[in-house]
Chain A
Amino acid sequence: MSVQDAGFEPSVRFPSNALSEVPFRVYTDPEQYRLEQERIFKGPTWSYLCLAAEIPVPGDWVATTIGEVAIIVARGPDGAVNAFVNRCAHRGNLLCLTEKGHGKEITCIYHGWSYDLAGKLTGVAFERGIKRQGGMPPEFRKEEHHLHRLRVGEISGLVFGTFSDEVEDVETYLGPLVVSGIRRVLNRPAAIIGRSTQILPNNWKLYAENVKDTYHASILHAFLTTFRINRLSQPGSINIDDSGGNHFSQAKMDYAAEDAEYKAQQLRSDTDMKLADNSIIDPIDEYGDQVSVQILTVFPNMVLQQIRNTIAVRVLRPRGVDKSELDWIHLGFADDDEDMTERRLRHGNLVGPAGYIALEDGCVGGFVQRALQYNDDDAGIVMMGGHDAQSQTFRASEAAIRGFWKKYRALMGA
């Protein structure tokens, strides 16, 4: 029986039904964190697992996590992508110890139980004993001890998985708007150009909110304003799915005007601060739609980012009530030429653990976490732009954060 079946009440109470009030204890309570693992990560949600491009060949596998739960994603001999728990059915040992591998089967190092790439138990060492002594009793059936399988779904090369038998398919889960946001960015075969992992000293939800928070961007990340880049007013939008959990925000830019502005700046002898090397921001409109920034989230654990010409998937991994890890997977496309690859690498300075407009996000969640230490008996407010979680055509809004809480509260029964 899971915690969910037991009908436990969440230990953190929300002060009202308003989506714009968030009790601070939700970031600090260990019991709440445990319930989230059951009701969110193992509940009716789709978590990002990996890129299909990481397991191109039958036999390839990667080890990952959903919440704190260890998962294996493998491409079977039929080419299908399978996902199952990384836990031997025999004694619960971790099956895959490394991040990736390749093979016809997966064998537990502890007692040699082996599984095929769909998670089916195929071999039990000494099943018949030795010299007719010992061995498994006659009632033992291998087919009753397969690995717990997850449902999988794929959109534009992103592989998602869920423990839930009830949740709708991944496209329906995301909604047509957010699916279109994914397809816009990943519109051709992607290639990994880099990886890093950032340890965040905060509860996972503080980062999940941060990436939905269009309000903080131009305030906390002073890089763009300090160097007076992109002063032109940027039209934008926030697009939120019906559940509230998935979203993307966009900002558009007049590429030609920025280029002209930059050239004019180079000619002026004013004392404005300007970059010595503009190539870290010098963009081309690769999608032909003037969108210079798109931040897309999939509840609960994925971000897909296009900032100018740097494209990345970020995977949020809870690691205890006050710690998280953020994996950055930097992408290019198979058809990028050398100039485009170099452009993406240079724009990569904007993001990641050392990113000009991202590094602050590594510490700000930790500042909140520290301030809440044994001082968490109030509620924060997210009412910029109203109280609901509707899509908006402006960005001075916390609507997408309220969307997060709409989804969260529906799942947690809070």
Chain B
Amino acid sequence: MDDLALRLAVADLNAAYADCIDDDRLEDWPDFFVENCRYLITDRQSHEAGLRHGIIYGASKGMLTDRVMAMRKANIFEPHRYRHIVGPPQIGRVADGIAEARSNFLAVRIMHNGDSQLFATGRYLDKIAVGETPFRFVERLVILDSRKVDTLLVLPL
């Protein structure tokens, strides 16, 4: 796959990922990841300080499935959706079927009553298995620009 084709394929992956969350098809969300994946939501300051804790710390696809189950069956919160706007990806190193990529994102939170608010901005730092299709995330680090989360975070970013 040449550079341009890879970049377009990663952009498609990002778009499909965002739609999956924003369209409330969260049961499909773990399938964007390989079994032995890492999914972490942290913030820039923590990331740069080398702090390993994440407000979501996913260390397997099962942990992502559990997130969705808990959200559907157990956790209590006001209904809301996100609208993700994801910028064009930049592709880094590609080796052994793994492509490194990064892209910026912005997520607006739309509450059930119509209240709409800029909820999060940040950067995805990804390692993507590109050896076969569909591409899947081996690692997706969600690095929030701000350490402050308004009220709660229950839908993934």
Binding site for B on A (CB under 8 A): 192-201, 220, 222-223, 225-227, 273, 275-277, 279-280, 325, 330, 341-342, 345-346, 348-349, 352-356, 359-360, 362-363, 366
Contacts and interface: CB of A to CB of B under 8 A. Distances in A.
Majority DSSP secondary structure for residues of A touching B? mixed
Contacts of A341: 52
Interface stretch (B17-25, B66-74, B91-99, B100-108): B66-74
B104 to A, nearest CB: 21
A279 B63 CA distance: 9
Contacts, number: 123
A297 to B, nearest CB: 21
A277 B43 contact: no
B16 interface: no
A201 B149 contact: no
A349 B57 contact: yes
Given A198-B152, A275-B66, A359-B153, A330 B78 contact: no
B56 A349 contact: yes
Contacts of B77: 359-360, 363
A223 B75 contact: yes
Nearest to B51: A194
Given A196-B147, A277-B62, A363-B152, A227 B74 contact: yes
B148 interface: yes
B154 interface: yes
Interface residues of B, number: 35
Given A349-B63, A360-B77, A193 B52 contact: yes
B133 interface: no
Contact of B152 (A192, A348, A362): A362
B154 to A, nearest CB: 6
Interface in B18-74: 41-43, 45-46, 51-57, 59-63, 65-66, 69-70, 73-74
Nearest to A224: B74
B76 interface: yes
Given A276-B65, A280-B66, A359-B153, A194 B46 contact: yes
Contacts of A275: 62, 66
A359 B62 contact: no
Given A198-B149, A273-B73, A360-B75, A348 B46 contact: no
